[in-house]
Amino acid sequence: MFCGNGLSKSSAFSRLMEMGCCGCFGFSRRERVITRPKARFGNFSSHPSQQHLLEEEVEEEVEEEDDGSYDGEATHMTEADGQDMPNNAKRSEEILMFRLENGLICRQHRVKETHKLVRYEDENGNKKINEYVRLCKIGSGSYAKVVLYRSSTDGQHYAIKAFHKSHLLKQRVAPSETAMTDVLREVLIMKILSHPNIVNLIEVIDDPNTDHFYMVLEYVEGKWDCEGAGPPGGLGEATARKYFRDIVSGLMYLHSHNIVHMDIKPQNLLVSRNGTVKIADFSVSQVFEGDNDELRRSPGTPVITAPECCLGLTYRGKAADTWAVGVTLYCMVMGSFPFIGETLQDTYDKIVNDPLCLPDGLNPQLRDLLEGLLCKDPNKRMTLDVVAQHPWVIGEEGRLPEFLCWCKRNRLQRKELEMDREAPR
């Protein structure tokens, strides 16, 4: 039987979110709220209790959202009151700029950068920005709105995030940082990455003579279809395994490039029409050097927060991402979150102290995997390398396919050339 860690009243979720993510265990935090376009994921959008866990109120009004299936929902971010945050953000930006300036990127083709913006209507009255024809709004939030466009050049659909630079610069997220800091870091991260399980950044449009700023993204049109599969709200094991393999592949790629996502959850995992899962939303992600993935910034959403992150201490970013992957797998199979309390502090207390409760009839391999991922001790938690070789993950599909990324291919080619030069003639 399931343990009683779910909530019986939706009002409890509202109270949970109203409290914010601060001061739960005697440490002081500043609260800020980030709202992103709302995604639709099958039954996840039809269960109000789960929906409310991932939504936050914002201080200002935003436009009502259209139905769509792109990008994440509201994300709750917190920051320690100390001086760590500006330094961490600065380190991430310095690392990213160094990589970009020295060509240390994992893309065969660089992101297109456009510094000229033309906004107009065509002869049919369709609104356009440069080559892109506006079709419909997908969603909106306090940072940006996301709009579906069609390129008049290649005929493809793109999801375009539209920002106002003046608005970003007014939103203070730390003593020396504005929302622009987060957006620019997201752009820098996505300029480096290229992987089939990560949403691709196509173009950045930033005209210095206008207040508009655009991120042209790959459009992922699909959604999770939970109806009629497995337990209420769940996907069923076969679909969960398929999606989970994609998530692990994408996250292993990120970690191998010294990037931690910080907000892995169903709402940030988009599913294309052919069933490929793509990781989206890097607005709270961080970059590190070598093995030093020590962080202090809390992950983006309370219910996916790892136990060690609830204590206000430093923690390892990779291990926290892995916990979030475990929470996501639990959600995919069970249709609910593993640790939920009546209040935010109660939720953190359950995350830190309550045992993981799983149904008696659960597949033993899946049970073992969930227990390994949702291990309270980050030092004993399963690593993604171990997860990739787990029997449940391998299933009938076999081992995860090896992805030879662009930068690794370049390294191998250089090594082969060096060996050829050194070989005796």
Handedness of CA 311, 317, 306, 384 (dihedral sign): negative
161 assigned to a ligand binding site: yes
| pLDDT of the residue at 291 | 82
Burial of 4 (0-12, 13-18, 19+ CB in 10 A): exposed
What CA–CA distance (Å, rounded) separates 328 from 306?
Answer: 12
Out of 2-11, 252-261, 388-397, pick the least confident. Answer: 2-11
Q: Are 233 and 336 in contact (CB under 8 A)?
A: yes
Burial of 236 (0-12, 13-18, 19+ CB in 10 A): middle
Active site includes 346? Answer: no
225: pLDDT confidence band, cut at 50, 70 and 90?
A: low
Element (H, E) at 91: helix 84-101
Tokens at residue 71, please? 């990008």
Q: Are 50 and 337 in contact (CB under 8 A)?
A: yes
Predicted TM-score of the model (pTM) = 0.76
| pLDDT of the residue at 223 | 61
Average pLDDT, the chain: 77
What CA–CA distance (Å, rounded) separates 232 from 217?
Answer: 33
pLDDT above 60 (res 43): no
Tokens 């020590």 correspond to 294
pLDDT above 60 (res 100): yes
**Separation in Å, CA 105 to CA 102, 110, 250:** 8, 8, 16
| pLDDT of the residue at 233 | 59
231: pLDDT confidence band, cut at 50, 70 and 90?
A: low
Q: Of 182, 246, 263, 346, which one is the catalytic site residue? A: 263
Average pLDDT value for residue range 306-315: 87
Q: Are 146 and 137 in contact (CB under 8 A)?
A: yes
Per residue in 152-174, is it b (16+ CB within 10 Å) or e — as a string? eeeeeebbbbbbeeebbeebebb
Better-predicted residue by pLDDT, 239 or 27: 239
Handedness of CA 78, 163, 221, 404 (dihedral sign): negative
pLDDT by residue (tens digit) across 287-307?
A: 988 788 888 766 668 889 999
pLDDT above 60 (res 21): no
Domain ranges of the chain: 10-65+72-106+222-394
- Looking at the domain 10-65+72-106+222-394, which fold is it? Transferase(Phosphotransferase); domain 1 (1.10.510)
